[in-house]
Amino acid sequence: MRAIFALLTGFNPKAYHDASRAQQPRLSFTSQGHTMSIKISSQFDAGAIELVSATSASSIDLNIRRDSHADISQWFYFRLQGAQGQASTIRFLNAGKSAYPAGWDGYQAMASYDRVEWFRVPTSFDGEVMTISHTPEMDSVYYAYFEPYSWERHLELLDRAQLSEQVRMLDLGSTVEGRDMNVLVIGDPAAGSPDGKKKVWVIARQHPGETMAEWFVEGMLDALLDPADAFGRQLLKEAVFYVVPNMNPDGSVHGNLRTNAAGANLNREWNTPTMERSPEVFVVKNKMLETGCDLFLDVHGDEGLPYVFVAGSESLPTFTPAQAAQQKRFSDDFKIASPDFQDMHGYGDSPYTDETLTMGSPHITHAFGCLSLTLELPFKDNANDPDPICGWDGARSARLGAAVLQPILQALRNPA
């Protein structure tokens, strides 16, 4: 098309580009100190930061922005321009007042030049201020709390999945701001044994800033739909999967850590969701009541603990020894499937309170009596097997997602 346009008009795009470059002198770093001006921006999908001042690369002061409709701050994602080759000092002045300040201890921020390959950069925290110390190699660099998972990639994930003959994509309704709430139905509910196939529900990103959860789901879906994956093949013979890769689309686009566009923490809405405050939970819960549930995974990210672990429903007064044994078997099988999973570190026991049934996994255990777990992935790294370059990242989350098929299959074949 470009060649035809040039032929018809006599326009030479390369010559125009070269002439434009000659007419517009490039800004560069010199020994005389001439530099591009420092610029901080976040007006893009999931971008979130507040600029305090940026007088030079060595003196950039920021505040972590609150969620769009709630007084919670932890997620950040922004772009720095004009600091190529300069030792940059980026200070987050209110880090000590964030939702989880302990999450900054031992934490290393993520950076990328192309938003595809992400790596860790030196980061420190003195109890009040968090500081990134990094010398960018390019004119433009992005920094984020964790490797982002964009709304566009989310839509691409749904579209790619529905191309499989095993998949139907259903619309459940809309979010507070009108974004689509979709569930992927994988497998044929009508086929299988006379009693029907087992129903597996997997949801992710109730807390939108926990992007590792959707990376996990992407890896799980890729394995489940891979004809060469033995666990995927067996599971689709015995079960139907209902997968919601992103429970909180509005919060994801806004760059929120924990809440939706009504300021609701969706993982505290399961007992009495409403269409006004938490339509995302309302429509998913209604679909679950329609289909039933034999196994439920709610995938999250943990700010403080550098481990992969699960939290169960032990605090429920109705929790039985058989359910405890099933939960332990799942953990034991997951440890075999992936060395990244462990059960030595986690949340520990917590008492039953009025809040318990507002949370996803204990609510589902109470409602359906099935194995129901909250799976936590780290924002930091896996302390049992650290990666000094990337820490825990999207790719490692996806590989864990592929590995979860093995313990799911075993759990369905060996119910309590």
> Which residue in the block uniquely carries the two structure tokens 């599971």?
235
Alpha carbons 332 and 334: distance in angstroms, whole number: 5
* Three-state SS at 252: helix
Distance (Å) of CA 391 to CA 108, 120, 332, 339, 407 = 8, 7, 24, 15, 25
Query: In this structure, what are the phi and psi dihedrals at residue 287, rounded to the nearest 5 degrees?
Result: -65, -35
Q: For residue 183, count CB atoms less than 10 angstroms from its CB and return exposed for 0-12, middle for 13-18, buried for 19 or more.
A: buried
Amino acid at 112: S
59's CB contacts (< 8 A; 6+ apart) are 53, 89
* Residues across the chain: 416
First to last CA, the chain: 63
User: Rounded CA gap, 376 and 268, in Å?
Assistant: 17
The amino acid at 261 = A
Q: Measure the CA–CA gap between 201 and 411, rounded to whole angstroms.
A: 13
376 among known catalytic residues: yes
Q: String of b and e for 352-362 (b: at least 16 CB within 10 Å)?
A: eeeebbbbbbb
* Neighbour order of strands in the sheet with 130-134: 50-56, 59-63, 88-92, 130-134, 123-125
Bridge partners, residue 341, by sequence: 308
Could you tell me which residues come within 8 angstroms of residue 65 by beta carbon, excluding any fewer than 6 positions away?
42, 48, 49, 50, 73, 76, 255
Cβ burial of 371 (10 Å; 0-12, 13-18, 19+) is: buried
Residues with active-site annotation: 376
